[in-house]
Amino acid sequence: MNLIERPREMQECSLKLRREGRRIGLVPTMGFLHEGHAALIRRARTLADWCVVSVFVNPTQFGPHEDFTAYPRDPQRDAELCRACGADALFRPAAADMYAADHSVYVDERDLSAGLCGAFRPGHFRGVLTVVAKLFNLVQPDVAVFGQKDAQQARLIQRLVRDLNFPVHVVIEPTVREPDGLALSSRNAYLNADERRRALSLSQALRRAEALVREGERDAERLKAAMRPILEAAAPTEIQYLEIVNYQTLRPTPQVAGPTLIAVAVKFGKTRLIDNVIVGR
């Protein structure tokens, strides 16, 4: 596996491979990789013949009071996981090489980013879309694989590709969960044992909603009313949102009619966890 640290080297390598007719796959990550990322890398390998994993804790997607400095990092373990999953290259740029000191061009989305996480993390998706656009330009992927766990991010990247005409096929893979239902996330590392137990309330509430939809419930308010007590029983520090939105528009919907995203964001102490399911498809 190649370790590439310079953006220019990454781009030159990819352009050469494309000239040779190779199909490039990209899995963008912020590192501290887990089995969820491993699933994305394995999927990318089936879709491309040269697979790049990027590991970059992107400063522009963190707010001033968020966890950029504390974000967990383990470069050696990340490299081992990438190698074990069969990645061909690990792209690990330094922040100073990704952003010039006077960097001034950003990708700003004005519709899908307004609600859900966007409402609680101003500027977050501007940072995400900007770095993903840069990664697309540097890695020149034919296909890029993202996780459903970050459902709003995934929809925004589909919109980025559509609106800015990136020749990239975006693939969204299902959320990988612990056996007890907790969605895998690098931020789970922040949870102490008690918070880890209480964090199960997210997947439990979502499973309850899924079961109700299977039984025929379609009313969003009734679904939320069934979920909220499950979240509240875990005594979270804050329930940031519990939303039922149309999967295409990400706007609240009164009824489950067609693909519908049920999404939650909950804080335990300082740790902010998100999870979601798609129903009605």
As annotated, the active-site residues are 37
Q: How many other C-beta atoms are found inside a 10 Å radius of the C-beta of residue 210? A: 15
Q: State the nearest-atom distance from the C-beta of 31 to ligand PAF, in Å.
A: 8
* Unique residue bearing structure tokens 């309850």: 208
Q: Is 150 one of the binding residues for ligand PAF (CB under 6 A)?
A: yes
Mark the segment that binds ligand PAF (CB under 6 A) among 7-15, 125-133, 198-206, 217-225: 125-133
Q: Is 132 in the site for ligand PAF (CB under 6 A)?
A: yes
Of 24-32, 229-237, 245-253, 258-266, the window that binds ligand PAF (rule: CB under 6 A) is 24-32
Task: Please tell me whether residue 30 binds ligand PAF under the rule CB under 6 A.
Answer: yes
At its nearest, how many Å lie between ligand PAF and the CB of residue 130? Answer: 9
Residue 58 interacting with ligand PAF (CB under 6 A):
yes
If phi over 0 gives left and psi between -120 and 50 gives alpha, with beta otherwise, what is residue 184? beta
Using rule CB under 6 A, residue 131 touches ligand PAF: yes
Q: Describe the strand order of the beta sheet including 238-246 as a list of residue ranges.
A: 238-246, 260-268, 271-279
Binding segment toward ligand PAF, per CB under 6 A, in 27-35, 137-145, 222-230, 259-267: 27-35
Quick check: 28 binds ligand PAF (CB under 6 A)?
yes
Q: Comparing C-alpha atoms, which of 140, 138, 129 is closest to residue 164?
A: 129
CB 256 within 8 A of CB 215: no
**Residue 281 beta carbon to ligand PAF: minimum distance, rounded to whole angstroms:** 23
Q: Is 86 helix (H, G, I), strand (E, B) or coil?
A: coil
At 278, list the tokens.
């798609």
| Bridge partner residues of 53 (DSSP) | 27, 90
* Residues whose CB is less than 8 angstroms from the CB of residue 129 and which lie 6 or more positions away in sequence, other chains included: 106, 107, 108, 109, 156, 157, 160
Q: How far is the CB of 12 from ligand PAF (least distance, A)?
A: 22
Interface positions with ligand PAF (CB under 6 A):
28-30, 58, 61, 128, 131-132, 150, 153
